[in-house]
Amino acid sequence: MQAPINIALVGNPNSGKSSLFNALTGLNQKVGNFPGVTVDKKTGTALIVPGLSANIIDLPGTYSLYPKSADEFVTYDVLINAENADLPNLVIIVADASNLKRNLLFCSQIIDLKIPVIIALTMMDIARRKGVEIDLDGLERELGVPVVAINPRKNKGLTELKKTIELTAKGNFPAPPRDFINSNELAGDVIEDVKKQVTAKSDYAALHIAVNAEELQFLNKRQREFIKDSLHTHQFNKTKIQAEEIMQRYARIKHIMKAAVVEADPLQKQLRSEKIDDLLLHRFWGYVILLVVMFLLFQSIFWLASYPMDWIEKGFGQLSGWLTTILPDTKFTDVFINGILAGVSGFAVFVPQIMILFGLITILEDTGYMARISFLTDRLMRQVGLNGKSVMPLISGVACAVPAIMATRTIENKKERLITILVTPLMSCSARLPIYTMMIALVIPDKRVLGILGLQGLVMMGLYLLGFFMAIMIAAIMKLFVKIKEKSYFIMELPVYRAPRWKNVGTTMVEKAKIFITDAGKVIVVISVILWFLASYGPAGRMQPVHAKHEKLMAAVHKDAPGAKEQTDELDRQFRSEKLANSYAGILGHSIEPAIRPLGFDWKIGIALITSFAAREVFVGTMATLYSVGENPDDNNATLREKMASAKRPDGSPVYTLAAGLSLMLFYAFAMQCMSTMAIVKRETKSWKIPVIQMFYMTGLAYLCSLIIFSVFR
């Protein structure tokens, strides 16, 4: 069996490249980083035919070979740099047949790099609906490279594509000897100078090295200086050369389109997608529909998840009660039930909501509506120093801030990218969802507004919208302080509307549940066990008097007297409460309580604020452990919600009032509370300065807003 070949997948955004990558590689995928940069490197292996396998590299999408963002520079380096470890033996260009003229610009540039190329035409069905008919054989003759029609979403055309890959690997389809355009006519002298200094596979590759010499990391200082001198000597004008090149390419593309493509009458009536856009992108109704969609999304999180959540919650309560009765009364039983099991129950109950949230987001992305949200909000973004490209990271932040911050790499403008990074963690991520759900269930009544709108769903949507509008406000303020002057623009292709791929939705839901259970679960269980220890033990000087007092009071109870059992139960409750208060966890909580008391928080919440720096969702596991350790074993059947609802302060007043609940939700809406986010911000900005600024401004904002809301509602 021959060694695996390297195949690079390239193409315009929304051309179907990711679908083809998934179809070819299946589950044989991994995500890392390209060497030296923080851009995702998505690779996979595929068996093309028996005896021939391939390493598939999914390169970031780009519209042309002139890069503007960090993602596009990665694609550029892999294709231009002859020394790149990922240099492909073959390039598959994924091209959208319904927008063929624009896609052919990028295709023609790749062809001129003299790397063997296969063009995979996607969305042929949409092209036909537009009235576009493509002569594949004619297109193949005009371009000089093989062309294959595929539909990776339905696994159509993949067999023919693999056969073409096999033939290309055998040398049947080498790089075309004839250039698409004559690069030497544009800057022959400069190209010759570059080829003397740098290994370039073609004249066109040498031209690109000349154009981007300052930005290319694979060039050494001597090579850069030589190329710079050559450009000066030959009066090389980059802008003029690029403009001439694009004009020549489109002139030939026009000829190819006439020869191989039959297009419909431009006066034909609008497509269904355009008619839908007239409504969904309307200046007024577009925003109304967006709010309705958001409300339905958050209402569904409560409505669809309520039954499985209740079953999980009650199941864990009954399991804890049953284990308490059958297991011996030992320290191991205590740590298992009140530490590990309590921690697991604290996050397992929210798995249905996490799955539903990601499932609904996937549906919005699959149907094409998510891109319309960027378009709708571009005008608002520009008012605060951002543009529509910032919206996608902000929306992604609803799922998780870490990939959302990584997604800012597509923003070319440095100022806009920095501001987007700074405000993205204000978006309510899925880790905050368990906290919101628990507090809404505790303090917000389950009733209808106007007879149809669920109040709890409205509050949930309000928290998410609050995060978005706070991000906008902070961005407007930061716009005044970030002193980077650079022009920006927002160009976005709106994908056509499609039916969601239900298999993809289901796979995403399962994968996100696995990630939540394994990643968050491991952290929560470990912290729950540590907390059990801290809540069960304390300094001998403080714990011994508590034990001695309890033994003295119990000895004074006459077991045969009326009401003795009730008296004993009350003494046990007081003992567990005092023991918890004097434990290591209790001492820590009481030490920070004066700082958080103005927000309506007690010392148990204070401990949860500290532990949830590891991950916000740890809050629930922390509360589950603290309330399990401090409660009567007979109460193990009770759910965490029931335990928290009955929690009292020393003066007998409830801990979780409306004011305290709103204050806590607001604190978590704005506080950083996530070490992973700080780490990714440091990696993306290459400085600790930005995450430290983020930490301080978000914590201060959270404290101030919680203080105000608690004072108003108290």
Residue by residue, DSSP assigns 643-680 as HHHT-B-TTS-BSS-HHHHHHHHHHHHH----HHHHHH
Q: Which of 29-33, 179-183, 261-265 has the lowest mean pLDDT?
A: 29-33
Q: What is the mean pLDDT of residues 500-508?
A: 77
Query: Phi and psi at residue 550, in whole multiples of 5°?
Result: -65, -45
Tell me the C-alpha to C-alpha distance, in Å, between residue 551 and each of 538, 554, 576: 18, 5, 13
Are residue 335 and residue 417 in the same domain, yes or no? Answer: yes
d(CA 709, CA 714): 8
pLDDT on residue 388: 66
Range of the domain at 540: 516-713
Residue 659 domain-assigned (yes or no): yes
Q: Are 440 and 461 in contact (CB under 8 A)?
A: no
pLDDT on residue 267: 44
Q: Are 313 and 350 in contact (CB under 8 A)?
A: no
CA 674 to chain centre: 15
Is 37 a residue whose pLDDT tops 50? no
Residue 268 domain-assigned (yes or no): no
Are residue 297 and residue 406 in the same domain, yes or no? Answer: yes
Question: Beta partners for 148?
Answer: 120
Domain count within the chain: 4
Are residue 294 and residue 316 in the same domain, yes or no? Answer: yes
Select, from the ranges 335-339, 434-438, 524-528, 627-631, the one with the highest average predicted confidence (pLDDT): 434-438
CA 638 to chain centre: 35
pLDDT per position as a tens digit, 328-361:
877 777 777 766 777 677 667 767 777 877 788 7
Is 33 a residue whose pLDDT tops 60? no
d(CA 300, CA 352): 11
pLDDT on residue 36: 39
Q: What is the mean pLDDT of residues 11-27?
A: 82
Q: Which residue has the tokens 């567990």?
A: 576
Are residue 469 and residue 520 in the same domain, yes or no? Answer: no
Are residue 232 and residue 378 in the same domain, yes or no? Answer: no
Question: Which residue, of 118, 135, 169, is where some domain finishes?
Answer: 169
Is 26 a residue whose pLDDT tops 80? no
Are residue 468 and residue 526 in the same domain, yes or no? Answer: no
Residue 488 domain-assigned (yes or no): no
Q: Which residue has the tokens 């075309």?
A: 176
User: Band of the pLDDT at 317, cuts 50, 70, 90?
Assistant: confident
Is 490 a residue whose pLDDT tops 80? no
pLDDT on residue 312: 80
Tell me the C-alpha to C-alpha distance, in Å, between residue 32 and each of 41, 68, 92, 696: 5, 22, 21, 31
CATH assignment at residue 61: 3.40.50.300
User: Band of the pLDDT at 61, cuts 50, 70, 90?
Assistant: confident
| pTM of the model as a whole | 0.58
Structure-derived torsion over alpha carbons of residues 349, 352, 354, 357, reported in degrees to the nearest 10:
-150
Are residue 227 and residue 300 in the same domain, yes or no? Answer: no
Is 3 a residue whose pLDDT tops 90? no
pLDDT on residue 118: 93
